[in-house]
Chains A and B, each alone.
Chain A
Amino acid sequence: MFNTLRTLLLTALHAFHRRATVQYPEQQPYLPPRYRGRIVLSRDPDGEERCVACNLCAVACPVDCISLQKTETDGRWRPEYFRINFSRCIFCGFCEEACPTYAIQLTPDFEMGEYARPNLVYEKEDLLISGTGKYPDYSFYNVAGIPIPGKERGASERERPPIDLHSLLP
């Protein structure tokens, strides 16, 4: 009996507590940089697409909402198309974790409501941003052994110049 009354009192006293609700459109909440919102494709520090079309994001996606096709220019792999169906996306961030080149990143933007579902299908042009996102200095081709224009074979980080096959010196 007393407990019940105490409960009533305590509940009533909550009328004088601060409200936890954030009045969203007027009052913008703080979203940390690692918040998992809209997915973007970032670029290298030199402005080239970071995505190498390795398909790991697609295979990591639990709702299978990422699809892409590899193409190649000058030794660089890139996606011919890169499509995300955001009407299926659950913003789990697995794609970002799977990405070996920091290309695919989730951003703190979640305001992507649409009236028509087809508008939620984002193509590569919609996903590409012009910056590097959360990882400003990383460039996959600086550490990969693949030569690209401007980087000769053997010029990646921690690589020796190519072997001279005609030498038998140790």
Chain B
Amino acid sequence: MTTIRIDGRDCPTRSDINLLQACLEAGANLPYFCWHPELGSVGACRQCAIKQFSGPEDRKGRIVMACMTPVSENAIISIDDPEARDFRAGVIEWMMVNHPHDCPVCEEGSECHLQDMTVMTGHNTRRYRFTKRTHRNQDLGPFVKHEMNRCIACYRCVRFYRDYAGGDDLAAFASHDNVYFGRAEDGTLRNAFSGNLVEICPTGVFTDKPFSAVYTRKWDMRGAPSVCVHCAVGCNTIVNAREETLRRVLNRYNTDINRYVLCDRGRFGHGFINAPTRIRTPLRAIDGQQVPVPMADALTAFARMATQGRIVGIVSPRAALETCFSLHALVGPEHFSTGQTRQEQECTELAHTLLTRHPGALPTLHEMESADAVLVLGEDVCATAPRLGLSLRQSVRQASFHTADNAKVPRWMDAAVRTLGGECPSNLHILTPAPTDLDNVAAETFRAAPDDIARLGFAIAYAIDPFAPPVTDLTPDDAAHAARIAQALMAARKPLVVSGMQYGSPTLMQATASIAAALVRTIPAAGLSLVLPECNSMGLAMLGGLPLETVMEQARAGEISTLVVVENDLTRHLDLADVADLVAAVPNIVVIDHTMTPLCQHASLVLPIATFSESNGTLVNQEGRAQRFFQAVFPPAPIQAGWRWIQALARSLDPSMHPITGLIDWRDLDEALAALAMAFPDLAPAVMAAPEADYRINGEKLRSQTYRASGRTVIRSFVSVRDQPPPASPDTPFSSSMEGAYEPDMPGALVPYYQTPAWNSVQALNRFQSEIGGPMRGGPSGIRLLSPAENQNTEAQPYAYATDIPAPYIPQADTVLVLPDTRLFGSEELSMFSPPITARSSAPTLGLPASATGSGRMVLHLEDGPHDLPVEPVPGLPEGTVLCPTHMVARAFRFPRIARLEGLTDGGERP
């Protein structure tokens, strides 16, 4: 810590930052463009000019760029100095020279950093009366809209896209005043993080295309802190809604997880909420047809079903914790299924066990960025947990940071550090069957079948810790490879091992945990991270329940009369034949879901549930962090939160036949969570994931609309001209209107939008952080349920290594091993109901080893029949395997899958 003097005011500040950060952290309003907390400084825009004085006697001073000047002890600077002000006014006037007159039709308007900075600088009249430069735009695909005329050439976009996110199809073109940011030719931006350009761009060059179709100004939208439901990473989001429809999803800063960046699946995957597939009313099967019925009829129908026999409940890893627990309370633990196949459930439970047993660190995504050696085993993290993949990409820069530290170059001096980093070797090792997006920054990649990767993993563990079980009959190449990786990991200060259940292989995760545990022998900070498939997989693993196979057995035995399926499309987990069996064996299937999944066709009762944007609940992400999401939309009557539906079902039952206590008495979410905490002590801290519904600031609820939300007296006047009170929910501390408290040090879990005086763009976030890039002023969002095990891997307390080392994979002559090709756009269930994601996803192809000779199309024989697919050679794919997109060819995907593959005859006819 040090102190600097800003305009005569002494401000304590950190010594390893630049003056711009110091000024912003001190609460001063200093305009800037090209600097970004995550991207560092390049000094491209010249906007943050200030005066620096050499000492108290220096009256003249000199203009410096605040973002390029490190904080020095007792520095004396001035923001308000007339010369500095004039300099900044001149810069903004230059920038505005070519800026078009189109703010009214710009999606950035109302949250535009350029607008804010122009106002802050005081530039309000255009003096330039000559012609403006114009650019042609490009079609950048379904996510991002391009309007190059608005560009101020701050270079943030290419720095983010190329340097940070590793994209290669966005670049700066042309020269001098004409500089152009775009692709070499029109086309979809390929990078998985292209959507962040919307937030990164300080003006309206890159805007949110799906949002533009339902555009609303920022001040008009209700915001709510939320959690992404499209993978298990649990990125924090802000959902924006108006007129009770969801309009967009924005990044919400969580210092430990997603920070400033959200993947495109999370940002654009919310389309399922307003899609035509949405269920909005209860449906009842009458004479083979599903007809809309009132809520009371639906509940009566359920009560009648319940008299016929046993009720079994199936939840899903994408349902909120409260929903799962309420069904658990309704049907009882012996009739409660997690809705996963045995293999999936074993994998998630194993992941939970391995993480709790891990003696080292369980790093957050942010901590992963500072890992200096990373080993990824058998998981394409860029597809299954994209944000985690981005963190691993950042970890590659650790070597360049160390070089920069040695060269006394501050880490935020982006261009210099990246130049230095050009010669620094990567320490990222990737062992996967198929290529991943991280391969281009990896030190080395290794392609093998999952079992072979597990074997190599055990070999690495053995190379690190001789107490680990050895792997016999390893090829000399593999042994050398294992030794090399082991050496790289052991040389690191913060090594990290990452795996997951993409390939459904428990041994792979065992091997990963073994490596991490072995590393702890010498490096206590060694980290382990396991990627899970769904947003609440970890929560469900901690809740426990029966696998689907057990439910199938009970159903076939005729023991189930009513099956309540909550937010689960069983056709994605069970083969068609199994689904048919289940439908035949169970007389009543009640599906509670928000989207018309194929399973709904077989349901005798379908109940509409609220989505994450319409209800409040808790999700546990893959690192065991319980996080609360809040509603931005108040859905019309029959749609309600999952646990309220299940409560309504419970209340409709005959109390003499089904004595259910607790569940039917819950009045709000907090009572549901309290009951959960009583029943599952492991999950008890989830209560504290966010402040309770009676949380108040200065006696007031928290407002979820900006102070200038418009149209209050007219927005629903086409229905009735009478004023209605704003909707309210007993589950949240938010008021749904513009009335209530809002301040920068509100709890991190309860920030509904970012806005402070003079800062209307997302850059207002700086004011909400205790230090820029650091924790939120109001405390963290969410709470970790897992903590590293206390027993270190020592001689006295050795780690219990797994010993079931698999046999090497031997390619078969007549069959192939079908490996899941998990796709960022296409494999995840809900996002595929979102139109922009569907547009972005590509048709399924069959990946074959490059050596395999095949015609353009081949036929893959899966359990549900033959599939004729175009073939694509995949370099490095092991012999005897094929890569098949999950859920896109056969709806259900189960591990491991051995299938027959045959080429088409010359005539193209199927044999």
Contacts and interface: CB of A to CB of B under 8 A. Distances in A.
Interface stretch (B175-183, B389-397, B893-901): B175-183
Contacts of A100: 103-104
Interface in B196-215: 212-215
A107 interface: no
Given A153-B134, A163-B178, A64 B103 contact: no
Interface residues of A, number: 49
A58 B711 contact: yes
A143 interface: yes
Given A59-B217, A100-B104, A158 B130 contact: yes
A24 to B, nearest CB: 27
A121 B149 contact: no
A88 B212 contact: no
A158 B129 contact: yes
A145 B134 contact: yes
A85 B717 contact: yes
B74 interface: no
A158 B105 contact: no
Contacts, number: 131
Nearest to B130: A158
Interface residues of B, number: 47
B724 interface: no
A165 B174 contact: yes
A163 B219 contact: no
Contacts of B110: 55
A66 B709 CA distance: 11
Interface in B143-161: 147, 149-150
A69 B714 CA distance: 12
Nearest to B173: A165
A121 B136 contact: no
Given A64-B714, A153-B136, A160-B134, A165 B105 contact: no
Nearest to B132: A159
B9 interface: no
A66 B714 contact: yes
A70 B137 CA distance: 21
A31 interface: no
B286 interface: no
B856 interface: no
A145 B717 contact: no
B216 A72 contact: no
A77 interface: yes
Contacts of B718: 83, 121, 123
Nearest to B714: A85
B132 A55 contact: no
A56 B714 CA distance: 15
21 contacts: A53-B215, A54-B104, A66-B710, A66-B714, A83-B714, A83-B717, A84-B714, A87-B721, A88-B714, A100-B103, A121-B714, A143-B101, A144-B102, A144-B104, A145-B101, A158-B129, A161-B134, A165-B173, A165-B174, A165-B178, A168-B174
Interface of A: 52-56, 58-59, 61, 63-72, 77, 83-85, 87-88, 100-101, 117-118, 120-121, 123, 140, 143-146, 153-154, 156, 158-163, 165, 167-168, 170
Interface of B: 100-105, 109-110, 129-137, 147, 149-150, 173-176, 178, 180, 212-217, 219-220, 243, 708-715, 717-718, 720-721
Given A118-B721, A123-B718, 15 more contacts: A59-B219, A59-B708, A64-B714, A69-B216, A70-B215, A118-B720, A121-B714, A121-B718, A121-B721, A145-B149, A145-B150, A146-B147, A154-B134, A165-B174, A168-B175
